A and B are shown apart, each in its own frame.
Chain A
């Protein structure tokens, strides 16, 4: 049996029943990593002995007759902005090199309690700022489908790891599309939960009102399984939703009778022809399965990108103030004063995109510009959220749209043009602004064999509905697999 091809749900079932051991599972994935990681470069660090110990502990638990959790023996790759006690968390930044976490993130506690096996830390755009993982301070990650192309970002290492068969499951974070966009580019499932559904305790903050942790996987069932493990109230995150999970996790009813909205603002010029064709075919399949597609309008969509690029950098400029050369990571030498220590450490430690966004946020928040930029963007955010609230209240159950305007682009293609890179998230950003549940599932390949993603968007805490619809579509049109394509 090829263990590395099994889903997380199947692995957990097999480990619980004794069909195979957690150590055998880990070994199977490690041998895949050994074979293909040199050309993909998804991981910043592998846990080695720590992963082996976790797998041994799961096997010992079973041998002792103790009940095993929902992710028994499932190796999970973690984006490097998620804290794991005792190992390095760098956010792919030079400024945090050598920083070892003193505690586990809430999601890592939940994974361990479910008997999962944390496998390693994945590459990302520095501090999750980017759409290609090229902003990592350490190295670039390749798209496993075409190593000349980007895996997307910022959770590009997590998406590439799942696509390449290095792990059945990964966690990423999504501030403006950073789970869904790389999931689309790498042909895997990526779920951004409703804001507040998953605790951000132990996630290094980028833009706190937008950040949300979520799973990347090869099957919809695995995304649902992972969500059921990591969702839930946590008092250590003051924005953690109370009493929401039950409703959010309630399994959806498939597609029969569902009203699916097609926002005309997402099917516009600039949308790649192959992406549009593939997404429209997937929508036709939704209709065959009993859904009714209706055109809708989300009139403030065109303002989402601009207001996002005011709000997110503003929050980032504040959140990243803590990286000052005093408590963790890099410290620039030979500073004559504390102020110079801050300036030199940050000047040396942050990469270009992070500096750009700190500057942008500082500008937007600075005296004289605050009302014109930040306050205005927050008002526009209300209009964007109201667009969604209105269609969900009046006319549709969920929304279907492309995840990205284009298939994966070439390494280096957009690196020197920040604005063109930002456009890669134009269809994912509105859901962060509104706090919606949203996911990307594979819906086809371009003629050149590159993955295309379909985005499904639901109202807040409508994960069950989304996952139910996605599962019905997956059963009707199985996702293209890299093995089959290679």
Chain B
């Protein structure tokens, strides 16, 4: 088991995190230590055990898809770093 700097860069790319070279080295070492500490899980055979996603054992909660007004839409939009009218503004995606 090893995590190369290239692996760290790949994970950071998947996570959309811009990391400095120092961070790549730091997190590489720390992630490796954390993942090594999880090795004891390997000694446990849980293959016949069902996974738990929710402790309440809930099934899907369904409801009618009915639009409801939100009384302060502008307060939501006001948090955007850049907006134009009722839209969020982002760098150009399509040429």
List the interface of chain A (C-beta within 8 A of B).
85-86, 98-100, 102-103, 195-196, 209, 235, 238-239, 241, 300, 302-303, 306-307, 309-310, 317, 321, 324-331, 335-344, 346-348, 350, 352, 355-356, 358-360, 362-363, 366, 373, 375-383, 385, 418-419, 422, 433-435, 460
> Which of the residues B38, B40, B49, B82 comes within 8 Å of A310, measured between beta carbons?
B38
| Closest chain A CB from B84 CB (angstroms) | 13
With A102-B72, A382-B51 already in contact, 18 other A-B pairs whose C-beta atoms are closer than 8 Å = A86-B75, A239-B56, A302-B40, A306-B38, A328-B80, A338-B90, A339-B16, A341-B91, A343-B13, A343-B18, A346-B16, A358-B17, A359-B17, A379-B49, A379-B50, A380-B44, A382-B50, A422-B34
> Which of the residues A102, A241, A344, A382 comes within 8 Å of B18, measured between beta carbons?
A344
**Interfacial chain B residues near A366, Cβ < 8 Å:** 11, 14
Q: How far is the CA of A198 from the CA of B15 in the complex (A)?
A: 31
**Interfacial chain B residues near A195, Cβ < 8 Å:** 55-56
| Closest chain B CB from A266 CB (angstroms) | 17
Is the beta-carbon distance between B91 and A329 smaller than 8 angstroms? no
Secondary structure at the B interface, as helix, strand, loop or mixed, is loop
| Closest chain B CB from A298 CB (angstroms) | 14
| Closest chain A CB from B49 CB (angstroms) | 5
Q: How far is the CA of A389 from the CA of B40 in the complex (A)?
A: 23
Instruction: Report if A419-B46 is in contact (Cβ < 8 Å); known contacts: A343-B17, A356-B30, A359-B31.
Output: no
Number of B positions contacting A (CB below 8 A): 49
Is the beta-carbon distance between B11 and A363 smaller than 8 angstroms? yes
> Which of the residues A235, A337, A343, A359 comes within 8 Å of B63, measured between beta carbons?
A235
Instruction: Report if A102-B76 is in contact (Cβ < 8 Å); known contacts: A209-B55, A303-B40, A381-B51.
Output: yes
Interface string of B6-49 (1 = CB under 8 A from A): 00100111111111000100110011011101101100101101
Secondary structure at the A interface, as helix, strand, loop or mixed, is helix
Is the beta-carbon distance between A99 and B90 smaller than 8 angstroms? no
The verdict on B67 contacting chain A, using a C-beta distance below 8 Å, is no
The verdict on B2 contacting chain A, using a C-beta distance below 8 Å, is no
Is the beta-carbon distance between B90 and A336 smaller than 8 angstroms? no
> Which of the residues A241, A324, A360, A381 comes within 8 Å of B16, measured between beta carbons?
A324
> Which of the residues A341, A355, A460 comes within 8 Å of B17, measured between beta carbons?
A355
**Interfacial chain A residues near B79, Cβ < 8 Å:** 98-100, 102, 327-329
| Closest chain B CB from A130 CB (angstroms) | 14
| Closest chain B CB from A373 CB (angstroms) | 8
**Interfacial chain A residues near B58, Cβ < 8 Å:** 238-239
Is the beta-carbon distance between A306 and B91 smaller than 8 angstroms? no
| Closest chain B CB from A256 CB (angstroms) | 30
Is the beta-carbon distance between B17 and A306 smaller than 8 angstroms? no
Is the beta-carbon distance between B16 and A343 smaller than 8 angstroms? yes
12 A-B interface contacts by CB (under 8 A): A100-B79, A209-B54, A302-B40, A328-B79, A336-B91, A339-B16, A341-B91, A359-B11, A366-B11, A376-B41, A381-B51, A433-B55
CB nearest to A332 among chain B residues:
B18
**Interfacial chain B residues near A460, Cβ < 8 Å:** 55
Q: How far is the CA of A244 from the CA of B75 in the complex (A)?
A: 34
Is the beta-carbon distance between B56 and A359 smaller than 8 angstroms? no
| Closest chain B CB from A118 CB (angstroms) | 17
**Interfacial chain A residues near B52, Cβ < 8 Å:** 378-379, 381-382, 385
Instruction: Report if A383-B46 is in contact (Cβ < 8 Å); known contacts: A326-B88, A338-B90, A359-B17.
Output: yes
**Interfacial chain A residues near B51, Cβ < 8 Å:** 375, 378-379, 381-382
Instruction: Report if A363-B40 is in contact (Cβ < 8 Å); known contacts: A343-B17, A358-B15.
Output: no
Instruction: Report if A382-B49 is in contact (Cβ < 8 Å); known contacts: A235-B63, A239-B58.
Output: yes
| Closest chain A CB from B73 CB (angstroms) | 8
Is the beta-carbon distance between A100 and B78 smaller than 8 angstroms? yes
**Interfacial chain A residues near B16, Cβ < 8 Å:** 321, 324, 339, 342-343, 346
Is the beta-carbon distance between A341 and B90 smaller than 8 angstroms? yes
